[in-house]
Structure 1
């Protein structure tokens, strides 16, 4: 009888099982892989499975992070309602109470200290619509000039370098589909195999087609294993290495003289400077043998097509912007841009790292890559927004400089959206100290992150499964992320939160949106005629065409797959080369007797950024549940560091404790620590406050440290 009842109930359970399918995009890297979440429900439980969808960029691939992304979105620690800190503890309050409190506190701060006493800190993981609205919110609802975002710590070097060199910045100057046909490529400071795994097949196809691949990295990685030539550069010496390559190209007469004469300014100054350099001195400076520099230069110079890709290894340095410019010098000198299978690729880190920097989150930018200091640009956006140009604030400062102003007391309030600056910024102890000085701090997030812990008020946001909108991926392709998963508790979309706060501040007339598509329609108008022109893109087109590469100036335009075929974006139509000194403007840390080793940082495949989301995924957390220090065995022996034991790493800023991992893949003078962990394992506690003078990027990739075993 018991067995019969069990069979009966099992049959009934199967009969009542339902299945729902939710279309979405991965919330993590800039490939923005399309996928579906399948929810199977019975009377007793729900089961989830993620499958990939075909699309022009990732071609139906998905990596381990995407497969398990839903685990954080349905995690029990998700914030379900507004939380107010009372006597050091968070307590549930209503949305009405939260909005009234924001109104009172923000109004009080600005009446006492001026509009610029409030600041806004944004994110490169939110949608284009939300990034656009956040910039408008800061400048129209709050009337503050202090807005910046976490992309400052990711893409600012490449963005500024491309803008200065070409006149505009789009991650890839070509479409991703051209990669397999190029004849030679340089991968400078990028570990795409772990950071953007679904892009790897493009590079593998190029290799199969005979492409010669040159990798520049202090470590051997899954990416450098693909290379024909690995230049194991000293941390921080990328700009000097580029000078060595450039010197050989010029001296071996591998330049494209006709291209330089017709389409480039500044070559003579570059030629004069690199002629004064000694190749053997560059070899000594960079740690790369001169014969390898010659090999890289001659192969790249002689091939008919070539591409250069840069990422955080080159960019996250205090000379990151000028270092990228020197790699662009190589590209221009050989004429390898604006033609098939040749161009530049800035491998964007964050999911919407491209789109989030185009629409006004940066301190000096307005939507469409317009400049906030350009009178014509200001008037245009003021007209779109329905305000007076003189009421539009001027430029502010970078993300870390805003934190410095919090510490100095100039900034009294903070509105933080979907970012974790306590973990992501350099000198983390200082960042925490500065934020604690604020009079009022509002955080919008999925979880109580390390930064949100310090907030006075936390507002619950929605996840990638719940929030529809557009994203712009690594190649500059605008895509539409569908999302229809039920909202979590009382959570609201970021755009809804901004509209409701603006309404509470009596600025609701400028934020009367009812959907992301309505916001996108305003983006189309705001970007019309700008460098990043989205005016020809619509939601209907994105659904039908599976993404469009900007600029797209009208609805009959197919999008721009290859930039700079006929001219660059500077007024005279030419690109600009610049001589790059081997001695950076901001002096980098070098090993000393007290701090004898280089420290460099980076990512691992199973985690993303500060780990707030991926550490909530049981599957991903199990793969890498703690941080570690990669160290060469010979170096480990010298400092008595046994494998898989705890080790203390110290710089002038502080110390952390992580587990050792011996590896011959790293230089003997260098240790590597990933940056996805917080508190006592937060490697950014060790990083200097020094910033790139051009783009204000911190120098995450070069620090001087000492190590010792933890007894």
Structure 2
């Protein structure tokens, strides 16, 4: 593998940008452009360019660690570490039952790892207590998509469609910082004469590129969408024929929207009536348009309803299930889409099947070779699982997540983690959560292993191994294989990722996220395959009208592939499904569903004690909890630490100057970080990035109030007060 060029994909966001890796003799790794991959077309952000730096043994784990009698983590052998984990989990199961053990996964795990982790939890441990940090990412959009369309896939169309539509409303998304290579699609949209509307309480780098920036008060995106739908009705812009032919439930949704007249919505959101009218005009005048949401509207205690309101706007104007039109979610984590499709989510089985569906249980149990009745039922969602640590759940196996930094009400979650009888963590680096573990296992990274991920378009991709991992490092699949063996399960947990994927194909067959027609060979030869992609024996009836079957190979007596179609006997291969819903939606009758969703306040509104709103988010040079990016010098130089972004008027009332330490206090705790004063934010709102632990940990403040459908915490809005820090020093929590 040395000195050879390996085409692969970035380990960070859900774009999964293509890149080439070339090992150098000095042990470093060179990243070069991979222009053939259509998503990023060679472009990479700073995180992607510097991703190999985390491969260095200087910053990553290279030996198992176990907690000594003195309370410190010390190196240990793999045998000792695995024995300790198996022994501790067995003891907890014996005393507290299977649900005394929890499993927590991550949206960065490959499909193979996510699939195997879910299988391990349910088959080996027998626990229902499994969820993953992707619950904190796009679950509200998933809930709304399933209600409206019968199916959730981040984007139901490829990114290449964005520049060709007439208008895009981007709600609560800042791709200029969160996924910079995608910004070219929005720039090309405007170059082609299309319009970009950005909805964000901050004037972000993305909002600066927009034709229209709407800056609603945090937590009011639902009212904004309802106000726009009201105007669509009042101005006669409803696509009545489309609504009649392709939807159901319009009258109820219409009635709710008509109760949200523009002046009322202006009072709620702070967005003026003229701005509302202009947004409706820009969205409705072109033949095609899109709405794309991200964490802004989704990370709310009413996130599912909020996304549902934007979907209603698309349906009423005929902007869903048509070429160059639709609703989509800009998924955040690298494998956030695939991670929720194959079984590490509390209520799901592989193929995006529901765990409480008897037919789904029978199908997956047959693939796994177990009795369907042996599979546990749905468990707790991510925050509820973390909140139960140390009470009902006494031991936790955690892979690829850092909830000490990333969970809402983080100080409380840290206390719950510390109260566990036993914690085992598999990670690349010694994260803040791993530092609390009884056993830490060093596992392989993206460039050291082969596996598949599914990007925000629903495009299944093959990450290829480019490097040999350091001595002492093993894969997550090896960990699960060895632990299963220690529990007496000798088969069903292979270490080879392709073998796992072959089983995943069978387990997903016939499900909403059907991967059965996808193989490693296809992925190696193609730039990804869009699901659903059923296997050849299922494909004949599933090809969309007008699509041609792709052949594995021409018959032997026709090497040129020119025989008449009736003489070709090679099995058809489903081409994949880049664009969903063009003929029908994934509901029983093929119609999309309007869901009536009235506006309601956030779970926590400002008051005299906490008069300011806090919203959180990311910066361009860090990623998620920062466990990896905070170990890269170039990224730390660009974004060295947390800050509190506030408007000059708010700063003046506080008496704070640029760079002064400011305390932000909520009902859950206190965080301190330097002031960053700017007119790019509303005067009633402050912003903090959430990448750092310690004194500036933004998630110390955030509210764990949960959406009733998605169980998404309300990261994006809570009530706070600001305090000047007289000492000029940033102190601890």
TM-score range with shorter-chain normalisation? over 0.9
- Correspondence for 1:79 among 61, 80, 99: 61
- Greater shift, 640-649 or 20-29, is seen at 20-29
Alignment-derived partner of residue 449 in structure 2 = 467
In structure 1, distance between residues paired with 2:28 and 2:533: 41
Q: Deviations over 1:662-708 (max 9, x none)?
A: 11100011111100001111100001221111111111110111112
- Correspondence for 1:347 among 330, 347, 353: 330
- Find out whether 1:163 has 2:146 as its counterpart: yes
In structure 1, distance between residues paired with 2:460 and 2:236: 40
In structure 1, distance between residues paired with 2:153 and 2:29: 36
Report the 3-state secondary structure (helix = DSSP H, G, I; strand = E; otherwise coil) of the residue aligned with 1:213: strand
Q: Deviations over 1:599-650 (max 9, x none)?
A: 1000000000000000011111111111111111121111101011211111
Task: Please list every run of 5 or more consecutive structure 2 residues that lacks an aligned counterpart in the other structure.
Answer: 537-572, 727-733
Q: Deviations over 1:386-433 (max 9, x none)?
A: 0000001110010110112214x1111100001001111111111011
8 A contact 2:132–2:344 mirrored in 1: yes
Q: Deviations over 1:130-183 (max 9, x none)?
A: 011110010001110010000000111111111111001011111111111100
Alignment-derived partner of residue 59 in structure 1 = 41
Deviation (angstroms), 1:252: 1.1
- Find out whether 1:549 has 2:530 as its counterpart: yes
- Find out whether 1:654 has 2:669 as its counterpart: yes
8 A contact 1:174–1:344 mirrored in 2: no
Report the 3-state secondary structure (helix = DSSP H, G, I; strand = E; otherwise coil) of the residue aligned with 2:714: coil
In structure 1, distance between residues paired with 2:630 and 2:636: 5
- Correspondence for 2:506 among 525, 531, 535: 525
- Find out whether 1:419 has 2:434 as its counterpart: no
Alignment-derived partner of residue 5 in structure 1 = none
Alignment-derived partner of residue 707 in structure 2 = 692
8 A contact 1:462–1:493 mirrored in 2: yes
- Find out whether 1:561 has 2:578 as its counterpart: yes
Alignment-derived partner of residue 464 in structure 2 = 482
Report the 3-state secondary structure (helix = DSSP H, G, I; strand = E; otherwise coil) of the residue aligned with 1:76: coil
In structure 2, distance between residues paired with 1:231 and 1:591: 21
- Correspondence for 1:247 among 230, 240, 245: 230
In structure 2, distance between residues paired with 1:192 and 1:272: 34
Deviation (angstroms), 1:300: 1.2
Q: Deviations over 1:534-559 (max 9, x none)?
A: 01101111111110111111351111
Alignment-derived partner of residue 680 in structure 2 = 665
Report the 3-state secondary structure (helix = DSSP H, G, I; strand = E; otherwise coil) of the residue aligned with 1:484: coil
1:586-605 correspondence runs (5 A): 587-605=602-620
- Find out whether 1:30 has 2:45 as its counterpart: no
8 A contact 1:146–1:396 mirrored in 2: yes
- Find out whether 1:492 has 2:509 as its counterpart: no
- Find out whether 1:222 has 2:205 as its counterpart: yes
1:302-341 correspondence runs (5 A): 302-341=285-324
- Correspondence for 1:628 among 623, 631, 643: 643
Alignment-derived partner of residue 589 in structure 2 = 572
Report the 3-state secondary structure (helix = DSSP H, G, I; strand = E; otherwise coil) of the residue aligned with 1:363: coil
8 A contact 2:396–2:422 mirrored in 1: yes
Deviation (angstroms), 1:660: 0.8
Deviation (angstroms), 1:565: 0.9
In structure 2, distance between residues paired with 1:693 and 1:168: 19
Count of residue pairs the alignment pairs up: 687
- Find out whether 1:538 has 2:555 as its counterpart: no
8 A contact 1:338–1:564 mirrored in 2: yes
Alignment-derived partner of residue 637 in structure 1 = 652
8 A contact 1:23–1:483 mirrored in 2: no
In structure 2, distance between residues paired with 1:47 and 1:451: 28
- Find out whether 1:608 has 2:610 as its counterpart: no
- Find out whether 1:581 has 2:622 as its counterpart: no
Alignment-derived partner of residue 422 in structure 2 = 440
8 A contact 1:182–1:307 mirrored in 2: yes
Alignment-derived partner of residue 484 in structure 2 = 502
8 A contact 1:254–1:298 mirrored in 2: no
Report the 3-state secondary structure (helix = DSSP H, G, I; strand = E; otherwise coil) of the residue aligned with 1:689: strand
In structure 1, distance between residues paired with 2:435 and 2:24: 35
Report the 3-state secondary structure (helix = DSSP H, G, I; strand = E; otherwise coil) of the residue aligned with 1:677: coil
- Find out whether 1:125 has 2:140 as its counterpart: no
In structure 2, distance between residues paired with 1:479 and 1:24: 9
In structure 1, distance between residues paired with 2:93 and 2:23: 47
Deviation (angstroms), 1:298: 2.3
In structure 2, distance between residues paired with 1:161 and 1:578: 9
Deviation (angstroms), 1:323: 0.3
Q: Deviations over 1:108-140 (max 9, x none)?
A: 111111111101000000101001111001000
In structure 1, distance between residues paired with 2:167 and 2:268: 25
- Find out whether 1:268 has 2:285 as its counterpart: no
Q: Deviations over 1:194-250 (max 9, x none)?
A: 101111111111111111111100000111112111110000000000000000001
In structure 2, distance between residues paired with 1:159 and 1:51: 34
Deviation (angstroms), 1:39: 2.9
Report the 3-state secondary structure (helix = DSSP H, G, I; strand = E; otherwise coil) of the residue aligned with 1:119: strand
Q: Deviations over 1:49-74 (max 9, x none)?
A: 31121202111111111000111121
8 A contact 1:254–1:302 mirrored in 2: no
Alignment-derived partner of residue 163 in structure 2 = 180
Task: Please list every run of 5 or more consecutive structure 1 residues that lacks an aligned counterpart in the other structure.
Answer: 1-17
8 A contact 2:197–2:214 mirrored in 1: yes
Deviation (angstroms), 1:23: 3.5
Report the 3-state secondary structure (helix = DSSP H, G, I; strand = E; otherwise coil) of the residue aligned with 1:509: coil
In structure 2, distance between residues paired with 1:350 and 1:467: 19
Deviation (angstroms), 1:75: 4.4
Report the 3-state secondary structure (helix = DSSP H, G, I; strand = E; otherwise coil) of the residue aligned with 1:68: helix
Alignment-derived partner of residue 701 in structure 1 = 716
In structure 2, distance between residues paired with 1:131 and 1:177: 28
8 A contact 2:166–2:289 mirrored in 1: yes
RMSD over aligned CA atoms reads 1.2
Spell out structure 1 runs of 4+ moving beyond 6 A. none
8 A contact 1:248–1:298 mirrored in 2: no
Deviation (angstroms), 1:454: 1.2
